[in-house]
Structure 1
């Protein structure tokens, strides 16, 4: 008889509980990150400078781990490594550029709101993962909620915001690829954070350093420090580690299914920070997306980990 069969129900439940706690902590960090990034790239700092802070802090803090595993960890493989690194500098630059075009109210629906859809689609098309009817219904509700939250401008805007829409969807796709790549990489969450941070820092250093120095010369030290904390420590270290724990404990699809909850949190944070109040349709979308998260998470089914 296996150790799992001998374990108590409480012992079997504990890993899942840790996974859910990690997932909810992750989406909280994402919500803060979305609002902070949107504010930075539209007010104080260019995307490359913000990205340098985002990855420079974890690259420095996790340097001992990077030193041990090296720039090219053994047995990682080219495709899985590419999938991991795509969530670093490429993801950040694409998303930050998209935030310059798309209104803040549409960032949540298009980025964390569609992440679980991309994870599920990639899992189904590439890895043959199966989803139960309840979870499919949950994903459908998330999609409907995303459209409601984005409102008219999400689908029919003619003022160029479509560029932001395309870029944010591309970022969500990159994160979906990362989710599956990490799941199969054999790396720990800290190792993944160290690898992504170091590579991204090296890529962004020549692009972001001049802008960062210029910002400091202009008296924006306060904004730089705030972004270093939010981008570097919270998003760059804590967020990746917590998301890795969630994937390890829950599986790729379930961990990603919680991500639309960051839409709700981002909308609440944006009220005092950005002065944006969701309308009735957006609130309806938030409710539908939240219900979809509950169904897509698999808590009402016996779907295996994705």
Structure 2
């Protein structure tokens, strides 16, 4: 698969995912049902992969997957999907994958004392300005629901950043990590749904159920991950990560087309600022000893995304 095609495919899926999910939670599905589809179907798809590679994964790696399931598994996925009940799809794309590289740089500095380069600081500043403008729009409209959704997106993005920083020392490949986290998440959310759901999933029209199964379990859970893995292999983490800057803008366009979510001038400016910040941060040239780990982590964020989306 061509590297640019693979990256473009991953970006398109990540940009469309909040639009598809927003349509689901404001339509026929509950947020809990979409979380179940996201990880229940994803777990079924990844289970054969884990069985094949079972002996290659150490006991320690299996155990470390338990807390990391919170970071990039059920915890992050639930925050994103529940948040989309309250806030527009373009907010999720901007505050999710859009600011994760900023979270990575900030947490790397606070937790691991890795000093960010001037370019990463410029990118983080642009992202911070965009985040402030976007959340201020919700506050200015006195819409507490939107602010609550934005807070969930920021929390999910922070969890994704923690996952990226931990992934480097986990001792497994990005694909193995995603498989472990997805299967563990499925073990959590499927029994939770069966125990607490008030209505069966098959009450929804078959076409809608198939559509959300495709988006939640197949495209965002597997296809985007594999595509971005290919992009990183062929293009490198820096170029691949730079393409994530397209996600917020493309998602805003798709939200306008399919959901009729019309962003205000302030929202457009905020989304563009965040996209510019991601582009600046991810385009950091590799320098020995200078933020190499942060740079790699920023690129690996997309590998770990499942998702989420982001």
* TM-score normalised according to structure 1 size: 0.80
Q: In structure 1, which of residues 276, 283, 299 is the aligned counterpart of residue 268 of structure 2?
A: 283
Match of 1:13 in 2: none
CA distance in 2, matches of 1:63, 1:153: 41
Structure-1 separation of matches of 2:131 and 2:163:
22
Moved more, 21-30 or 180-189: 21-30
- 1:187, distance to aligned residue in structure 2 (A): 1.7
Structure 2 residue 21 is the aligned partner of structure 1 residue 37: yes
2:60 is paired with a residue of what secondary structure? coil
Cα gap change, 1:189 to 1:238, in 2 (>3 Å): farther
* 1:167–1:41 Cα change, 3 Å: same
- What is the rounded CA distance, in whole Å, between the counterparts of 2:231 and 2:194 in structure 1? 33
**Counterpart for residue 6 of structure 1:** none
Deviation digits for residues 128-160 of structure 1 (CA, Å, limit 9, x no counterpart): 323211221111112222333455215773534
Query: RMSD between aligned alpha carbons?
Result: 3.1
Q: Retained in 2: the 8 A contact 1:84–1:182? A: no
Q: 1:98 aligns with which of 79, 83, 96?
A: 83
Residues 63-78 of structure 1 aligned to structure 2 (within 5 Å)? 63-70=47-54, 73-76=58-61, 78=63
Deviation of 1:182 (Å) = 2.0
Superposition deviation, residue 297 in structure 1: 1.0
Give unpaired runs (5+ residues) of structure 2: 295-310
Q: How far is the alpha carbon of 1:29 from its aligned partner?
A: 1.7
**Unmatched 5+ stretches in structure 1:** 1-16
Q: Render the CA deviation track for 1:150-206: whole Å, top value 9, x for unaligned.
A: 552157735343322322221111111111222222222321222122111111112
Query: Counterparts in 2 of 1:156-167, with a 5 A limit?
Result: 157-167=142-152
Residues 250-298 of structure 1 show CA distances to partners (whole Å, capped at 9, x for unaligned) of 55x9866654531111101001111012232222223322322221113
> What is the number of equivalent residue pairs in this alignment?
287
Moved more, 29-38 or 281-290: 281-290
Aligned mates of 1:94, 1:58 — CA distance in 2: 17
Tell me the TM-score normalised to structure 2 length: 0.79
The 8 Å contact of residues 80 and 182 in structure 1, kept in 2 or not, is answered as no
- Which SS does the other structure have where 1:293 is aligned? helix
Q: Are residue 46 (structure 1) and residue 30 (structure 2) matched?
A: yes
Separation (CA, whole Å) in 1 of partners of 2:260 and 2:242:
28
Mapped pair 1:119 → 2:104: yes
Paired residue for 2:156? 171
Question: Which residue of the other structure, out of 233, 249, 270, is the alignment partner of 2:218?
Answer: 233
Distance 1:89 1:80 in 2: 12
Over alpha carbons, which structure has the higher Rg? 1
